């Protein structure tokens, strides 16, 4: 029993605490404003700014350093047990012979470009590993491979290392440290690599691979995690002559090989394959691909042919180019001599309108920054959307934001903002990549403003007060009304409440007012910045009607009557009106007998024996305020009323004396005139 009681008490206490917490959360001086966040992450957003030596097109949604120019050169191994090494010039559509490789290239011959000055090569059918110096036009032999490379052997470059598949029905995967000139084993592939094995790198953290002939297996190696992952299968089985190349943005292009024309594109972000325009002819041993880092993919057909093609990415179409100097077969390979990246570039964003004065919060971004590369930022703000002075986190024009952090407080109070991104590299084979940037801000809270409106529903002890928020200062406001009986002195208020924003009206009911009293009041609003008062207005409460209207019996006479009353609460004057037959219906009906400040009055000139109906109202000065209702009384004067006409055997009609006498008076006048005329004539005759 005690346990049950304790449980109930605990639940009740928990409910109380929850309610209290909610009350504290939603009450208080103001409502906290959520941060606004400005984010740029898409190609169109980045390109709305000003770009200098940066590229937003090759990898939509990213910003990286632009290349100093499109790659004009492709380098090729003929293979087929030869030492031939060629260069293709895209600007002239011509081939040229270069220094021969140190040995005959056979099964497993391969090439990889480091983006700078060197091209690396497998001889194939051996453990030999070479490097070609582009500027010096010469080859050098490097540290031997950990094992013999044959069919399925492949290499690719990424971030200072060469990664390699041994092929030859093995799972071996190696990494060459360029600076140390040494090889090291890496995690093995999940299955054996045979004919059709191929590699390419995305220039960042991932390497992609085909397994072998008669499979659709496609893998991705995560450099940071040092693990292999199975990706979406290719549209069909691959075979000898299969090849991969990365376009420098979001796509990998692939030959199927296996005597087929199939040509595919892999979408890295979507992990999906799409079939593209088929190659001009079937691809076999020696098939190879390379991308110029821009608009074209170049291809060797292999199959002991001289065929060389170019694929137009935008048009999704192939064209025949100048044929190779000789037929290409097993061991044939191709790579681009890509032009290095610019050493630096900038992106100055478009202006962002925060909508008003704000306090700026933080700037944060996501980048991929290989060793030797960096991305840093400066920020500029203003209120005129014209004056842009970029500065770092301490407000100085020579400092930079190098990590996500708070924005310099000197920008607070401004409305418009821009950022400037600085991309740099000390290794022009590499570029940093900016993926997105976000800047937070909070609307700056200013003083609110309100107006006071006229009171309504004014009664004896109650009234409704009104106001409007004319400016919330950037934050919902609470409101109240202050009021009192002395101008500028407010002894009462309605209490803070509500949540109103600019343009919204508010009201509050007041009670406990005094009848017939003038009150002065004003609206108030407040937010976290402060409190504002509207102008002062006034109202006049209604008085009560007169109390206890009495008629003293001894004061009733034939023609007069004395009325007395007690003034209503708050009344200044009393109006008394009378009428016969019924009470006056309003303050304009009947006869006004009294309107003054007294409490009694003698009404004279009345008719004896007549009943009179009296009605009284209270009045207070200042706003023509009258009581809502009245007091009534009925008085009958003493004495007899005037005699009424007596009817004898008929109906008594009222007589209009003027109407009756006028004809007789006219007749008398005529007779008088006639008599006078006769008298005058008689006198004349007598004379």
Token duo for residue 222: 């995560």
Give domain 547-636's CATH superfamily.
Immunoglobulins (2.60.40.10)
Among candidate residues 614, 621, 653, 657, the one with its CA nearest the CA of residue 636? 614
Q: Let me know if 235 is exposed, middle or buried by CB neighbors in 10 A (0-12, 13-18, 19+).
A: middle
Distances (CA, A) of 651 to 299, 645, 654: 136, 10, 10
> Is 24's pLDDT higher than 60?
no
| Average pLDDT in the chain | 86
Sheet containing 94-97, strands listed edge to edge, beginning at the edge strand earlier in sequence: 94-97, 85-89, 73-77, 333-336
- Rounded Cα distance between 324 and 322, Å, is 7
The predicted pLDDT at position 574 comes to: 85
- From the CA atom positions of the chain, what is the Rg in Å? 53
With a CB cutoff of 8 Å and minimum separation 6, the contacts of 546 are 565, 566, 567, 568, 571, 574, 616, 617, 618, 630, 631
Lowest mean pLDDT among 246-255, 344-353, 669-678: 669-678
With a pLDDT cut of 70, the percent of the chain lying above it is 85
pLDDT of residue 1 exceeding 70, the answer is no
The model's pLDDT over 410-439, given as tens digits with 9 standing for 90+, comes to: 999 999 999 999 999 987 767 899 999 999
Q: Which residue has the higher pLDDT, 270 or 615?
A: 270
What tokens appear for 159 in the block?
């971030």
Can you tell me the distance from the alpha carbon of 546 to that of 616, in angstroms, rounded to the nearest whole number?
A: 7
Q: Considering only CA atoms, which of 422, 243, 416 is closest in space to residue 334? A: 243
Q: Return the pLDDT at 375.
A: 97
The two three-digit tokens of residue 311, written as one number: 């694929």
Q: How confident is the model at residue 548 (pLDDT cuts 50, 70, 90)?
A: low
Q: Per CATH, which fold does 99-336 belong to?
A: Neuraminidase (2.120.10)
Q: Do the Cβ atoms of 433 and 421 come closer than 8 Å? A: no
Distances (CA, A) of 379 to 37, 198, 484, 591, 659: 15, 45, 53, 84, 107
Cα–Cα distance, 63 to 53 (Å, whole number): 10
d(CA 430, CA 425): 7
172: nearest Cα among 191, 196, 199, 195: 191
pLDDT above 70 (res 146): yes
Q: Is the pLDDT of residue 162 over 80?
A: yes
Q: What is the pLDDT of residue 23?
A: 38
For 163, phi then psi, to 5°, come to -110, 145
Burial class, 403, CB count within 10 angstroms (exposed 0-12 / middle 13-18 / buried 19+) = exposed
In this prediction, residue 673 carries a pLDDT of 67
Alpha-carbon separation of residue 157 from 72, 163, 201, 203, 465 (angstroms): 19, 6, 7, 8, 78
- Give 189 or 6, the one with higher predicted confidence: 189
Nearest to 491 by CA among 519, 463, 518, 515: 519
Identify the H or E element spanning 381: strand 373-382
Residue 571 predicted with pLDDT over 90: no
Rounded Cα distance, 351 and 415, in Å: 10
Does residue 26 or residue 500 have the better pLDDT?
Answer: 500
Lowest pLDDT segment from 220-234, 467-481, 660-674: 660-674
Where are the domains positioned within the chain? 36-63+369-443, 99-336, 449-540, 547-636
Are the CB atoms for 109 and 130 separated by under 8 Å?
no
pLDDT band at 230; cut points 50, 70, 90: very high
Mean pLDDT on 109-124: 92
Answer whether residue 70 shows pLDDT above 80.
Answer: no
End-to-end CA distance of the chain: 151
pLDDT digits (tens, 9 = 90+) for 599-630: 888 888 888 989 988 888 888 876 577 877 67
- The answer to whether 109 and 333 are in contact (CB under 8 A) is yes
Which H or E run includes 674? Answer: helix 657-686
Q: Percent of the chain, pLDDT > 90?
A: 61
pLDDT value at position 386? Answer: 95
Beta pairing partners, 630: none
Same fold for the pair 449-540 and 547-636: yes
CA distance 517 to 514: 6
What local confidence, expressed as pLDDT, does residue 487 receive?
94
Give residue 544's pLDDT.
76
pLDDT band at 86 (very low <50, low <70, confident <90, very high): very high
CA–CA separation, 245 and 597 (whole Å): 107
Token duo for residue 207: 């390497």
pLDDT tens per residue, range 302-338: 999 999 999 999 899 999 999 999 999 999 999 987 5
- pLDDT reported for residue 416: 96
- Say what the pLDDT of residue 333 is: 95
Residue 593: partners with Cβ closer than 8 Å, 6 or more residues away: 576, 577, 578, 601, 603, 614
Lowest mean pLDDT among 107-111, 303-307, 326-330, 591-595: 591-595
Task: Quickly count: other Cβ atoms within 10 Å of residue 102's Cβ.
Answer: 14
Residues 6 or more apart whose Cβ sits within 8 Å of residue 398: 392
CA 161, CA 186: separation in Å to the nearest integer?
Answer: 12
- Nearest of 45, 36, 69, 67 to residue 347 by alpha carbon: 45
Confidence category of residue 14, pLDDT binned at 50, 70, 90: very low
CATH, domain range 449-540: 2.60.40.10
> What's the average model confidence in pLDDT over 4-8?
46
3-state secondary structure 397-447: CCCCECCCEECCHHHCCCCEEEEEEEEEECCCCCCCEEEEEEEEEEECCCC
562 pLDDT exceeds 90? no
Distance (Å, whole) CA 117 – CA 140: 13
Looking at per-residue pLDDT, the higher value among 49 and 662 belongs to 49
Question: DSSP letter string over 509-576?
Answer: EE-SPPTT-EEEEEEEEEETTEEEE---EEEEPPPPPPEEEEE-GGG--SS-EEEEEEPPTT-SEEEE
Size of the chain in residues? 687
Interval 54-78 mean pLDDT = 84
**Please, is 155 exposed, middle or buried when counting C-beta atoms within 10 Å of its C-beta (0-12, 13-18, 19+)?**
buried
**Considering only 291-295, 382-386, 634-638, which range has the smallest mean pLDDT?**
291-295
Q: 439: closest CA among 417, 422, 421, 423? A: 417
pTM above 0.75, yes or no: no
Residue 142: which residues within 8 A CB-CB, separation 6 or more? Answer: 120, 129, 130, 131, 176, 181
> Has residue 686 got a pLDDT over 50?
no
Mapping DSSP onto H, E and C, the string for 265-296 reads: EEECCCCEEEECCCCCCCECCCCEEEECCCCE
Q: What is the mean pLDDT of residues 89-94?
A: 89
Distances (CA, A) of 510 to 224, 243, 450, 513, 527: 71, 86, 19, 7, 23
Answer for the pair 497, 523: CB distance below 8 angstroms, yes or no: no
Find the largest Cα–Cα distance for the chain: 190
């Amino acid at each position: 029993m005690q346990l049950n009681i304790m449980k109930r008490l605990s639940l009740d206490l928990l409910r109380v605490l929850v309610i209290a917490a909610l009350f504290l959360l939603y009450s208080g001086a103001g409502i906290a404003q959520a941060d606004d966040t400005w984010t740029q992450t898409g190609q169109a957003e980045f390109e709305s700014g000003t770009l200098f030596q940066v590229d937003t097109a090759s990898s939509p949604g990213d910003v990286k350093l632009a290349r100093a120019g499109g790659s004009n050169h492709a380098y090729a191994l003929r293979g087929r047990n030869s030492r031939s090494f060629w260069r293709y010039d895209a600007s002239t559509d011509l081939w040229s012979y270069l220094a021969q490789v140190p040995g005959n290239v056979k099964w497993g011959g391969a090439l990889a470009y480091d983006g700078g000055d060197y091209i690396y090569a497998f001889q194939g059918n051996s453990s030999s590993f070479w490097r070609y110096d582009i500027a010096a036009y010469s080859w050098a032999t490097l540290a031997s491979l950990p094992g013999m490379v044959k069919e399925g052997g492949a290499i690719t470059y990424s971030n200072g290392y060469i990664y390699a598949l041994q092929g030859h029905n093995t799972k071996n995967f190696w990494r060459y440290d360029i600076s140390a000139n040494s090889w090291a084993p890496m995690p093995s592939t999940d299955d054996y690599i045979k004919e059709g094995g191929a590699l390419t790198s995305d220039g960042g953290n991932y390497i992609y691979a085909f397994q072998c002939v008669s499979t659709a297996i496609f893998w991705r190696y995560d450099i940071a995690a040092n693990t292999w992952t199975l990706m979406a299968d290719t549209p069909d089985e691959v075979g000898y002559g299969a090849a991969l190349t990365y376009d420098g943005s979001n796509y990998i292009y692939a030959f199927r090989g296996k005597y087929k024309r199939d040509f595919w594109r892999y979408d890295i972000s979507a992990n999906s394959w799409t079939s593209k325009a088929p190659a001009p002819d079937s691809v076999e041993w020696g098939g190879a691909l390379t991308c110029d880092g821009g608009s074209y993919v170049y291809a060797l057909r292999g199959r002991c042919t001289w065929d060389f093609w170019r694929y137009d990415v935008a048009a999704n179409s192939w064209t025949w180019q100048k044929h190779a100097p000789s037929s290409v077969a097993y061991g044939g390979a191709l790579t681009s001599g890509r032009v290095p990246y610019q050493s630096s570039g900038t992106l100055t964003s478009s202006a962002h309108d925060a909508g008003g004065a704000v306090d700026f919060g933080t700037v944060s971004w996501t980048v991929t920054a290989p060793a030797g590369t960096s991305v840093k930022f400066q920020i500029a703000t203003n209120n005129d959307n014209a004056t842009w002075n970029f500065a770092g986190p301490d407000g100085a024009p020579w400092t930079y934001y190098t990590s996500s952090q708070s924005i310099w407080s000197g920008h607070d109070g401004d409305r418009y903002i821009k950022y400037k991104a600085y991309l740099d590299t000390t290794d022009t084979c590499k570029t940093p990549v900016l993926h997105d940037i976000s800047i937070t801000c909070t609307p700056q809270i200013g003083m609110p403003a309100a107006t006071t409106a006229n009171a309504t529903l004014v009664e004896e002890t109650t009234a409704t007060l009104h106001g409007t928020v004319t400016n919330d200062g950037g934050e919902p406001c609470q409101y109240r009304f202050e009021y009192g009986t002395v101008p500028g002195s407010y002894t009462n208020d309605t209490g803070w409440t509500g949540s109103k924003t600019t343009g919204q009206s508010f009201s509050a009911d007041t009670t406990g007012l005094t009848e017939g009293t003038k009150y002065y009041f004003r609206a108030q609003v407040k937010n976290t910045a402060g409190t504002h008062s509207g102008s002062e207005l006034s109202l006049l409460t209604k008085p009560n009607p007169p109390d206890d209207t009495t008629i003293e019996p001894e004061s009733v006479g034939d023609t007069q009557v004395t009325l007395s009353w007690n003034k209503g609460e708050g009344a200044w004057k009393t109006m008394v009106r009378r009428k016969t037959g019924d009470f006056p219906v309003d303050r304009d009906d009947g006869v006004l007998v009294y309107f003054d400040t007294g409490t009694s009055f003698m009404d004279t000139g009345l008719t004896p024996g007549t009943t009179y109906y009296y009605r009284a109202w209270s009045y207070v000065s200042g706003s023509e305020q009258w009581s809502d209702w009245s007091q009534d009384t009925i008085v009958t004067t003493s004495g007899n009323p005037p005699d009424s006409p007596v009817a004898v055997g008929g109906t008594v009609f009222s007589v209009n004396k003027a109407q009756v006498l006028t004809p007789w008076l006219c007749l008398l006048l005529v007779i008088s005139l006639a008599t006078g005329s006769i008298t005058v004539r008689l006198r004349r005759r007598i004379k």
